[in-house]
Chains A and B, each alone.
Chain A
Amino acid sequence: MSRAEKGLISEIQRYSIHDGPGIRTVVFVKGCPLRCQWCHNPESQRPVPELLYYPTKCSNFRKCLEICPLGALTEAGGKIQIDRSLCNNCGDCSQACPTGALKIVGEWMGLDPLLAKIKKDLPFYQTSGGGVTISGGEPASQPEFVAQLLRECQRNAIHTAIETCGYVKWEVLSHILNYTNLVLYDLKVMDPEKHKAFTGVSNELIVHNAQRLAQQRIPTIIRVPVVPGYTASNENLEAIARFAATLNSVEEIHLLPYHRLGEAKYQKLDREYKLEGIAPLREEELETLAHLVESYGFRVQIGG
């Protein structure tokens, strides 16, 4: 089977209750055109399998040192160091690692095995009004595979949702939308300059796609990551609410409070985390922002 018929999946999470209605399985695809500084899924950004190292699981058997064909691994102070310039993410070391401390994130999966995994919770979707949500990364980074997957889910009477950053060619996105029952559309910052500074890209395409999406009449929920010092200002949230008010498929806005759970993953990938030291918002601050958005006529939910 060629790679095109497979999708690169970073994780499958069952009993997910914050990514759309009911009990859902979230499929995280790997690959994202954005580099949001607050991203808590950095392992899903690059469109290739990547080696992760969990120092706490490591019992230092050093099996991996002998195995690596490229000599990318060394040991220092009881911990394994990965020379990322040498490592080609082949995964040999993770196969040999008995503790699971070295792990490749990103598995090329065929449609059928993936569908079989999704179908495992079918009875729970049916009774709770749940289904599948494709998230990431960016679902549209693997458009053909994701479209096929969503189509198959719908054929199996599974409700489908995607969570998208919107930074995609409209033709690509609209192909996926053919098989989508609900869109969770991420809007981060309305100011294009800031958007570029925080995520690496400008937001014109995102804004434009949101407008086109609104014409498709697919139920859409706007999701805003609320990150202190980045997106969490009154001004930004009002701008988002004002814009969302022009989109007639949007009735609901979710504010996703920034949390630090992603921080450790940056270390596991040997990447720099730029938000160190930022404290999550307090409950009351979130409530105030929620009321602000509500005043534009939306149902607002804190958290997914």
Chain B
Amino acid sequence: MWLEGVDMGGQGRMILYPHRVLEVGLKGIKAETQKRLDEVNIAHDPEAYRKTLFWRAVIMYSDAAIAFAHRYAEKARELAKRESDVQRKADLERIAEVCQWVPENPARTFHEALQTAWFAFLLAGLDDDADAFGLGRVDQFLYPYYKRDLEEGRLTQEEAQELLDLFWIKFNEAHKARPESLPPGKDSHGKIGKAGDPLFNHMTIGGITADRQDATNDLTYMILAAREHIFPLPYPNLSLRVHPQTPKRLLMRALQVTAKCGGLPQYCGDSGIIKSLLSRGISLEDARDYTAHGCSIFSAPGLYGRWHVTFPNITKPLELALNNGVDRLTGARIGLPTGDPTTFSFEDLFHAFTKQLDYMLELSSQEVAVTQKVMEEKFPLVFTSIFVPDCLEKGRDITAGGARYEWGNAMAGMGAITAGDSLAAIKKLVFDEKRVTMSELLEALDADFQGKEELHQLLLNAPKYGNDDDYADSIVKRVCDTFCREAQKYPTPKGKMEPEFHSVTLSVALGFHTAASPDGRRACKPLNHDMSPTAGCDRSGPSAMLKSASKIDQSATVTSSLLMTADPSIVSRERDLEKFASLLWTYFNVLDGTNVQLNFLSTETLRDAQLHPEKYPNLVVRVAGFNALFVELSKPVQDYIIERTCHSV
């Protein structure tokens, strides 16, 4: 019914804010912490015991991190000594100097700032084998260092570009061992759900400043160039924040890079995302400073992160409502007895679906609550907490509530569109037009449409979300609204569960466990992705697809991703690219859309790559909220990507 986010070890899924460490160094952090230790008094502060433990740990971790960096320095010095090439020797000596200085001391130069950020990422990963970190708004926090170096003649733009390129390459070195196969019943969702073995690290550029000005600077463009230079290396993830003052030149440049570099950057809309964060109690200043992490999750400074994500299968409750609580694939009773569907009106059916959904969400939030408590007791994240605003001040690590904003849970609904399209098909064919009876439909679902081809065709040709057709869209919206409402009902130790529709290939994994659905999807085939239309069902062009998506109340969620595949010819000419840029601009700034992921690839290319992998060793695709080399993906994931509609001109 749902899949779990933390069962493969590691919490992660948060933004590391290196600002403090850049400013004062770990030396400064230690000094502040020591002062707090000196001042805390258990006679006045009942929390003092716990705080003391945390602060002492911070000092120990900081020392360890400094020692870790010094080992890099030592190694570089040693290599320099043996090096005969003059240039390389000088480089190594510089590396040694930088690693000797940061993260212990405040960063003084662009190079040192980059090195500090890299260490932050590396060490946080070591904290508990986590993934999906964001390093925040890199073009913003690095800019003062870049500018000063340039002004003071320490650095040329070319040198800065090279450092950025190298920094980008580094993110492709880190890897994580994931289980090949999970216990029975889970298949290998690690492999299929996170196909291509991504680490989901994420950088964000563009957007607005705290006083609502356009934040674009030289580094914004240079980071796009870095992305281009390291292609086809797939990581890290990159998001461009779009707002009404985003320079057209920037958006067009970014789209060129996206088209050329396998779907990166992806795009996020400031308007919709900031609205969503504000409605969740984030301050205006923090909301305007939001960034992406993981595949496409949005966080503000001081937000716990989203380490605990469950991925409920929203299609499954409909299956259960249509089978009185019994799993159609296994025959096991896993849901509630909601009655005989042949006696249902459409409203009865929707009601039964809601009950099944609610039951599933309740179960999954129980699991979340237990896991959170275990994590807090057994796996405090001391080093990571240094990078999350307010933990040090409060004297608590993030798992114990140190972050400024106390919510760390998400329910990432999968298959909402499949469920919505299914309900639309039932409403149309069974209730409105009465072309099909409920029993005929159920029989066809039992048979996985074998021998029921005619009915299958009717279902496939019923109205589908993604075409700006209110018939299907309004039902999909109702499903999404219901999910968002039900998800937020459950308190957990770390705040409410927040709904989202974000993008990983778990829709393929969850599809394995889902019987045939009334939208015409066969048993065990993938569910729809995030908020994207069911593969191949958006047939009315990109503007219609975006309009459909905009009908869903995206700010009720914390992430609503939409994946669009378009033929490269749609942006091949400058004037067409400009039109595509205004299409996206409108989605974000007029329709309050929150996240778009793009693939500019023709279906023929993908088919050919599947047949002749040797010809396409470097074909990078946007799988979901992450990239991968197409030829390294498993066949079901490849098929799924191929089946998506390719919008063309």
Report chain B residues within 8 Å CB of A121: 543-544, 547
| Other-chain residue from B454, B579, B647 in contact with A98 (beta carbon distance below 8 A) | B454
* Any B CB within 8 A of the CB of A127: yes
In the complex, identify which listed stretch (B211-219, B268-276, B283-291, B583-591) lies at the interface while the others stay far away.
Answer: B583-591
Question: How far does the alpha carbon of A121 sit from the alpha carbon of B541 in the complex, in Å?
Answer: 11
Give the complex CA separation of A15 and B542 in angstroms.
7
**Are A100 and B543 touching (Cβ within 8 A)?**
no
Binds B, one of A17-25, A167-175, A209-217: A17-25
- Pair A15/B583 contact, Cβ less than 8 Å: yes
- In the complex, the answer to whether B541 meets A124 with C-beta atoms within 8 Å is no
Which chain B residues lie closer than 8 Å to A99 at the CB level? 457, 461
A242 within 8 A of B: no
- Contact among A15, A17, A61 with B454 in the assembled complex (CB-CB below 8 Å): A61
Given contact pairs A98-B457, A100-B461, A120 touches B468 in the complex (Cβ within 8 A): yes
Give, as a whole number of angstroms, the nearest-CB distance from A15 to chain B.
4
Q: Are A23 and B457 in contact (CB under 8 A)?
A: no
Q: Does A59 contact B (CB under 8 A)?
A: yes
A23-B579, A128-B583 as given contacts; A15 in contact with B461, CB under 8 Å = no
B42 on the A face (CB < 8 A)? no
A14 within 8 A of B: yes
Please determine whether A17 and B461 come into contact, CB atoms closer than 8 angstroms.
no
In whole angstroms, how far apart are the Cα atoms of A63 and B582 in the complex? 45
Decide if B158 is an interface residue (CB 8 Å cutoff).
Answer: no
- The closest CB in chain B to the CB of A302 belongs to B573
Q: Is the CB of A18 within 8 A of B585?
A: no
Q: Mask for B454-465, Cβ within 8 A of A = 1, else 0?
A: 110110010000
Separation of A15 and B576 alpha carbons in the complex (Å): 11
Least CB distance from A165 to B in Å reads: 23
Per-residue CB contact flags for chain B residues 519-534 toward chain A (1 = under 8 Å, else 0) read 0000000000000000
**B586 and A17 within 8 A (CB):** no
A18-B583 Cα distance, complex, nearest whole Å: 15
Quote the shortest CB–CB distance from A135 to chain B (angstroms). 15
Closest to B573 in A: A303
CA distance A56 to B576 in the complex (A): 31
Complex-state Cα separation, A16 to B648, whole angstroms: 10
Q: Chain A's nearest CB lies how many Å from the CB of B585?
A: 6
B649 interface residue per 8 A CB criterion: yes
A121-B590 Cα distance, complex, nearest whole Å: 12
Per-position 1/0 for B584-618, Cβ under 8 A of A:
01100111000000000000000000000000000
For residue B634, CB closer than 8 A to chain A, the reply is: no
Question: Which residues from chain A contact B547 at a C-beta distance below 8 Å?
Answer: 120-121
- Asked whether B582 lies within 8 Å of A59 as measured between CB atoms, the reply is no
Fill in one digit per residue for A116-150: 1 if any B CB lies within 8 Å of its CB, else 0.
Answer: 00001101101110100000000000000000000
Cβ < 8 Å to A, chain B residues 507-552? 540-544, 547
Would you call B583 and A59 a contact (CB within 8 A)?
no
B417-432 with Cβ < 8 A to chain A: none
Asked if B461 contacts A127 (CB within 8 A), the reply is: no
Asked if B377 is at the interface (CB within 8 A of a chain A CB), the reply is no
Q: Which residue of B lies closest to A98 (CB)?
A: B457
B contact residues, total (Cβ < 8 Å): 26
Say yes or no for A13: interface residue by CB 8 A criterion: yes
Tell me the bound Cα distance from A13 to B542 in angstroms: 11
A60 CB to nearest chain B CB (Å): 10
Q: Are B586 and A128 in contact (CB under 8 A)?
A: yes
Given known contacts A14-B540, A15-B542, is B457 in contact with A124 (CB within 8 Å)?
no
The answer to whether A127 touches B454, judged by C-beta atoms less than 8 angstroms apart, is no
Residue of B nearest to A24 (CB): B579
Complex Cα gap A127–B543 (Å):
13
Are A22's CB and B582's CB within 8 A? Answer: yes
Q: Is the CB of A124 within 8 A of B649?
A: no
- For the residues of B in contact with A, the DSSP-based class is helix
Mask of B630-649 contacts with A, CB within 8 angstroms, 1/0: 00000000000000000101
Instruction: Across the interface, name the chain A residue whose C-beta is closest to B586.
Output: A127
Write out the residue numbers on chain B whose beta carbons fall within 8 Å of the beta carbon of A130: 579
B582 contacts which chain A residues (CB < 8 A)? 22-23, 124, 127-128
A128–B541 Cα distance when bound, in Å, is 16
Q: Which residues of B contact A22 (CB under 8 A)?
A: 579, 582
Q: Is the CB of B544 within 8 A of A123?
A: no
Tell which of B468, B576, B583, B591 has the most Cβ of chain A within 10 Å: B583
Nearest chain B CB to A64's CB is how many angstroms away? 12
Residues of B564-584 whose CB lies within 8 A of A: 570, 573, 576, 579, 582-583
Which of chain B's residues have a CB closer than 8 A to the CB of A127?
A: 582, 585-586, 589-590
Nearest chain B CB to A134 CB, angstrom units: 18
**Cα distance A99–B460 in the bound complex, in angstroms:** 8
Q: Nearest Cβ in chain A — how far from B567, in angstroms? A: 12
How many angstroms between the C-alpha atoms of A17 and B582 in the bound complex?
12
Residues of chain B with a CB closer than 8 A to A63's CB: 454
Closest to A14 in B: B541
How many Å from the CB of A55 to the closest CB on chain B? Answer: 15
| Structural contact, A98 and B461, CB atoms closer than 8 A | yes
Q: How far is the CB of A80 from chain B (nearest CB, A)?
A: 15
Q: Which residues of B contact A123 (CB under 8 A)?
A: 586, 590-591
Is B453 in contact with chain A by the CB < 8 A criterion? yes
Q: Are B542 and A59 in contact (CB under 8 A)?
A: no
Docked pose: A120 CA to B454 CA in angstroms: 33
Q: How far, in angstroms, from A212 to B586 measured CA to CA in the complex?
A: 39
In the assembled complex, the Cα of A273 lies from the Cα of B461 at a distance in Å of 30
- Alpha-carbon distance between A22 and B578 when the two chains are bound, in angstroms: 9
- Residues of A near B468 (CB, < 8 A) are 14, 120
Q: Which of A18, A61, A124, A303 contacts B543 (CB 8 A)?
A: A124
Q: Which residue from B457, B576, B589 sits with its C-beta under 8 Å from A59?
A: B457
Q: Are A15 and B458 in contact (CB under 8 A)?
A: no
Within 8 Å by CB of A124, from B454, B570, B583, lies B583
Cα distance A233–B647 when bound, in Å?
Answer: 34
CB proximity to B under 8 Å, residues A1-58: 13-18, 22-23
Encode B439-481 as 1/0 by CB contact (under 8 A) with A. 0000000000000011101100100000010000000000000
Beyond A14-B544, A61-B457, A99-B461, 9 additional contacts (C-beta under 8 Å) are: A15-B541, A22-B582, A23-B582, A59-B457, A63-B454, A121-B543, A123-B590, A127-B582, A127-B590
User: Could you give 17 example pairs across A and B, Cβ below 8 Å?
Assistant: A13-B541, A14-B540, A14-B541, A14-B544, A15-B543, A15-B647, A17-B579, A17-B649, A22-B579, A23-B543, A59-B457, A98-B455, A120-B468, A121-B543, A123-B586, A124-B583, A126-B586
Q: Which residues of B contact A (CB under 8 A)?
A: 453-455, 457-458, 461, 468, 540-544, 547, 570, 573, 576, 579, 582-583, 585-586, 589-591, 647, 649
Q: For the complex of A and B, list the 10 residue pairs with the smallest distance between their C-beta atoms, beginning with the closest.
A: A98-B457, A128-B582, A15-B541, A15-B543, A123-B590, A127-B586, A14-B541, A99-B457, A17-B579, A98-B458
